[in-house]
């Protein structure tokens, strides 16, 4: 199937009434969640996971993806108006977005962030189509050893890049891998860590784990902090008109941000937060007057916003073509697909073209919806920031409980949410990343299966990981990342 045929096919799927409605629902909810500081896309997606049982897998994935990239749009609003990042990806937008708002140019900053987000997403879709087509052909040569090595690389990259204490990151990944072992062992049927609980025989419930770690833990952590901000000023559509100078500065920054975002989004383990920071650093480095940055430079908003949206789109490349989620949000997406009995892999593009191309086209439609809805409706989103958190979080908790309960009618799962919620809160407080735990949890069973298969085929010879060129490449890259992070810490220690 050529790309054009695929796109035509995708329009057929994405323009179905129910898929369209779930797309609209996803992006609206995503923007809402993104606008509100204190609840992220992870919490929203885990809240919606149970609903996806009742709808088609296409509609489910389209909706969850919509929440993800919708939150990237919404995240910028609180960053610009209140200097409170609505999502971690938009943290860097506060650096120049907030100064712009202080200068009375909040509307322009919002306009720039939305248009750059849109451009980044649209170009990201093109990169997604090209990369996915290429990778799904390369990946047919992948064997068990290569998959295991690649997933390990993903975990190593996620733990070392952008983490100030790699030991803590690795500990979280390992804890996730251990939690992924709970349940019935697929090969032998042995019970692992179930302690006689029949509810644990299928493993720890992904929905309960995700909701506890993100929904409940974020609520506990934000009860006191989320209401400390002042009410934002009103923004009207009219104030959003950029000046000619703004328009001249935007396109270059947007394009460079898109390039960075598309590249780092597609790599496993790096993701959109990193790419927005890199884009900001790049813009400041190449600027003729770097002192403008931090004082309301348009490029400081345009670049990072384009980067995080492009990364949000290309993050789907490894998820859909290899079945390997590059970041925790993709891990949840993969979880949603597996719930529907779909195991993504290199055959996905040919075996489930409706799924892949439907999703690609829905990205385009969803981003267009976001642009045409958000520009005129910006006033409504800004007023959302006036809702006190104390009115929201009790309702979130009730929705969490009913959402978990609806999966299989088990009160055990609700108790799991409560326990995981406290543990997740304590972990986040001590700056252990719960997102890495979830990544390990989802990848764990996949790594174990592929590792056992690879060792069986190689008759117990671990050298298989160095003899196969693909696996060897991943092993070398993982080792290099670990060495690099040790070296960087040594330099940091010396400079003190």
Residues in touch with another protein (CB under 8 A): 165, 167-168, 170-171, 174-175, 177-178, 181, 185, 187-188, 190, 192-193, 216, 219-221, 223-224, 227, 388, 390-391, 393-395, 397-402, 405-406, 411, 414-415, 417-418, 421-422, 425-427, 429-432, 448, 451-452, 455-456, 459-462
Least separation in angstroms between residue 124's CB and another protein is 34
Smallest distance, Å, CB 391 to another protein?
A: 6
Q: Which is nearer to another protein, 92 or 220 (CB)?
A: 220
The CB-of-274 to another protein minimum distance in angstroms stands at 23
Residue 22 vs 393, nearer CB to another protein: 393
CB-nearer residue toward another protein: 238 or 491 = 491
Partnered with residue 183 across adjacent β-strands are: 192
Give residues with Cβ within 8 angstroms of 215, minimum separation 6. Answer: 39, 43, 46, 47, 396, 397, 400, 417, 421
Cβ nearer to another protein, comparing 252 with 445: 445
Least distance (Å) from another protein to the CB of residue 451? 7
Q: How far apart are CA 400 and CA 220, in angstroms?
A: 13
H or E element in which residue 325 lies: none
Question: Could you give the CA distance from residue 366 to residue 161 in angstroms, rounded to a whole number?
Answer: 30
Residue 11 or 53 having the CB closest to another protein: 53
Label each residue of 135-202 as H, E or C. HHHHHHHCCHHHHHHHHHHHHHHHHHCCCCCHHHHHHHHHHHHHHHHCEECCCCCCEECCCCCHHHCC
List residues bridging with 192 in a β-sheet. 183
**3-state SS, residue 16:** coil
Cβ 398 to another protein shortest distance, Å: 5
**Residue 98 or 170 with smaller CB distance to another protein:** 170
CB closer to another protein, 177 vs 320: 177
CB of 248 to another protein, least distance (A): 45
CB of 483 to another protein, least distance (A): 16
Residue 458: Cβ-neighbour burial (10 angstroms; 0-12, 13-18, 19+): middle
Give 3-state DSSP helix, strand, coil % of the chain, rounded to 5: 75, 0, 20
Q: Crossing angle of helices 57-82/299-314, nearest 10°?
A: 160
Closer by beta carbon to another protein, 123 or else 175: 175
Choice between 190 and 230, CB closer to another protein: 190
Minimum separation from the CB atom of position 172 to another protein (A): 8
Query: How crowded is the C-beta side of 47, counted as CA atoms within 13 Å?
Result: 23
Shortest Å distance, C-beta 401 to another protein: 5
DSSP 208-248: HHHIIIIIIHHHHHHTTTTT-SPPPPP--GGGGPPPHHHHH
Return the number of the residue (130 or 429) whose C-beta is nearest another protein. 429
Helix axes 41-48, 328-339, angle to 10 degrees: 10
The values of phi and psi at residue 69, to 5°, are -80, -25
CB of 430 to another protein, least distance (A): 4
Q: Assess contact for 177 and 388: CB atoms under 8 A.
A: no
Of residues 178 and 477, the one with the C-beta less far from another protein: 178
Instruction: Tell me how far, at minimum, the Cβ of 269 lies from another protein, in Å.
Output: 18
Choice between 202 and 227, CB closer to another protein:
227
- Residue 138: Cβ within 10 Å count: 12
- Chain center to CA of 250: 25
**Ramachandran area for residue 289 (φ above 0: left; ψ -120 to 50: alpha; else beta):** beta
> Least distance to another protein from the beta carbon of 313, Å?
31
Report how far residue 103's alpha carbon sits from residue 275's, in angstroms, rounded to the nearest whole number.
27
Is the CB of residue 81 less than 8 Å from the CB of residue 89?
no
């Amino acid at each position: 199937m050529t790309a054009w045929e695929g796109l035509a096919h995708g329009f057929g799927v994405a323009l179905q009434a129910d898929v369209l409605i779930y797309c609209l629902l996803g992006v609206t909810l995503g923007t809402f969640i993104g606008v509100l500081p204190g609840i992220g896309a992870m919490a929203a997606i885990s809240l919606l996971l149970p609903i996806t049982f009742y709808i088609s897998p296409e509609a489910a994935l389209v909706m969850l993806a919509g929440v993800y990239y919708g939150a990237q749009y919404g995240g910028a609003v609180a960053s610009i108006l209140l200097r409170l990042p609505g999502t971690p990806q938009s943290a860097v937008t506060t650096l120049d977005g907030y100064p712009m708002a202080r200068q009375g140019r909040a509307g322009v900053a919002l306009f720039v962030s939305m248009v750059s987000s849109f451009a980044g997403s649209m170009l990201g879709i093109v990169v997604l189509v090209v990369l996915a087509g290429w990778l799904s052909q390369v990946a047919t040569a992948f064997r068990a050893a290569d998959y295991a090595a690649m997933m390990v690389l993903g975990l190593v990259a996620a733990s070392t890049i952008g983490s100030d204490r790699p030991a803590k990151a690795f500990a979280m990944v390992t804890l996730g891998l251990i939690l992924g072992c709970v349940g019935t062992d697929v090969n032998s049927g042995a019970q692992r860590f179930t302690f006689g609980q029949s509810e644990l025989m299928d493993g720890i419930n992904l929905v309960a784990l995700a909701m506890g770690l993100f929904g409940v833990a974020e609520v506990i952590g934000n009860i006191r902090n989320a209401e400390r901000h002042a009410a934002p000023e009103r923004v009207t559509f009219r104030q959003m008109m950029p000046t000619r100078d703004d328009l001249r500065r935007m396109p270059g920054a947007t394009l460079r941000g898109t390039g960075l975002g598309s590249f780092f989004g597609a790599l496993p383990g790096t993701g959109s937060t990193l790419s927005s920071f890199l884009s900001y650093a790049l813009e400041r480095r190449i600027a003729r007057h770097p002192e403008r940055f931090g004082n309301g430079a348009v490029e400081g908003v345009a670049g990072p916003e384009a980067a995080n949206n492009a990364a949000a789109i290309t993050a789907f490349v490894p998820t859909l073509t290899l079945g390997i989620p590059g970041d925790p949000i993709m891990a949840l997406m993969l979880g949603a697909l597996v719930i529907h009995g779909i195991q993504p892999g290199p055959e996905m593009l040919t075996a489930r073209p409706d799924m892949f191309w439907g999703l690609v086209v829905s990205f385009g439609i969803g981003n267009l919806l976001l642009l045409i809805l958000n520009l005129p409706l910006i006033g409504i989103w800004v007023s959302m920031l006036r809702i006190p958190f104390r009115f929201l979080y009790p309702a979130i908790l009730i929705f969490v409980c009913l959402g978990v309960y609806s999966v299989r009618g088990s009160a055990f799962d609700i108790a799991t949410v409560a326990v995981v919620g406290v543990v997740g809160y304590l972990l986040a407080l001590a700056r252990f990343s719960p997102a890495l735990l979830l990544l390990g949890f989802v990848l764990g069973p996949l790594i174990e299966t592929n590792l056992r298969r690879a060792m069986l085929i190689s008759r117990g010879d671990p050298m298989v990981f160095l003899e196969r060129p693909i696996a060897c490449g991943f092993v070398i890259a993982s080792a290099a990342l670990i060495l690099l992070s040790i070296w960087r810490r040594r330099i940091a220690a010396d400079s003190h």
